[in-house]
Chains A and B, each alone.
Chain A
């Protein structure tokens, strides 16, 4: 009986029936539709990266620049930011102000750390001689990971705005849908990185020069 009461409480509080044609929140539905379109967006870039795999005629090649241990750490950081996000939503829904603020801040902070990892990675690659104009690997890699980084940056700014709203009292349990929608976006950025980490980094990290192409010699 107690469990049933809890279920009904949650169902009423967090999954209300909206006065819309679908009975769902139009804003939440819009976010899901946007994420569906973003699946195509990133799917296209990942497919392009794979199509041009092993077609660069000059280096650096993936085996010359990709640093898997460092990227594993940044992947872990982004995964933990997703954990922080769900905890933030959990505590904001419960109107626990301190933990709510703390976890929103931690989500933004971990997202910021991920961006720093990416900036450092891009700088190292540039020092190695890999830019978007160097070869097909550089073009497709920077376009894909750069757009992902842009998504993370937008997410961090969005979270900081929500944190400000929480301090001002405009983000509360009764309008926690604002945070939930931001959370959907944030987790989507996370799942895109899960795919990029495996497909771009782990699967292609040992790719060297294709047949006939010269090996890369770093002149730094």
Chain B
């Protein structure tokens, strides 16, 4: 197939001139991020989890997600007992871990990653609205004290 394309390119004029010959395979630059097995490493990892883009993840993918969720929960508990980061740093890390857990459950267990985008828009809009109201209430409280 590749040879046919190259032959076709040689025999046709695509507007760039006859001198625009295709490079031999050996001279092609490797794609950015290419992994040792050929595909980019992140694509391999993504396919492993997403079962190559079908409408839901594989059992193996679900188990991987569950293991990650468990590890993150354990890390949150361990962080709680560590004083080294200070309260602010510790809270920031725990909230970040929590956000990743949240997204993983929504994306994989709720299948939003594999669903039509309409559902993502509905939930995303609700999250933006919900978090917006949440922050607005907290900011109002900060500026106006307890008089809410």
Report how far A45 CA is from B63 CA in the complex, Å: 32
Assuming A15-B115, A40-B126, A190-B105, is B80 touching A202 (CB within 8 A)? yes
B-facing residues in A42-61 (Cβ within 8 Å): 43-44, 46-47, 50-51, 55
B77 touches A72 (CB 8 A): yes
* Stretch in B14-22, B24-32, B38-46, B49-57 touching the partner: B49-57
Q: Is the interface of A mostly helix, strand, loop or mixed?
A: helix
Taken together as a complex, chains A and B put the C-alpha atoms of A196 and B130 apart, in Å, by 15
Q: Give the interface segment out of A28-36, A112-120, A164-172.
A: A28-36
- Residue numbers in B under 8 Å from A148 (CB-CB): none
What per-residue 1/0 map shows which CB atoms of B56-88 lie under 8 Å from chain A? 110100110110011001101101100000010
A-B contact pairs, 18 of them (CB 8 A): A7-B52, A15-B115, A24-B119, A33-B122, A40-B130, A47-B133, A50-B138, A51-B138, A51-B141, A79-B73, A82-B105, A87-B62, A183-B110, A187-B110, A190-B109, A197-B73, A199-B98, A202-B79
Residues of A within 8 A of B (CB): 3, 6-7, 10-11, 14-15, 22, 24, 28-29, 32-33, 35-37, 39-40, 43-44, 46-47, 50-51, 55, 68-69, 72, 75-76, 79-80, 82-83, 85-87, 89-90, 180, 183-184, 187-188, 190-191, 194-195, 197-199, 202-203, 205-206
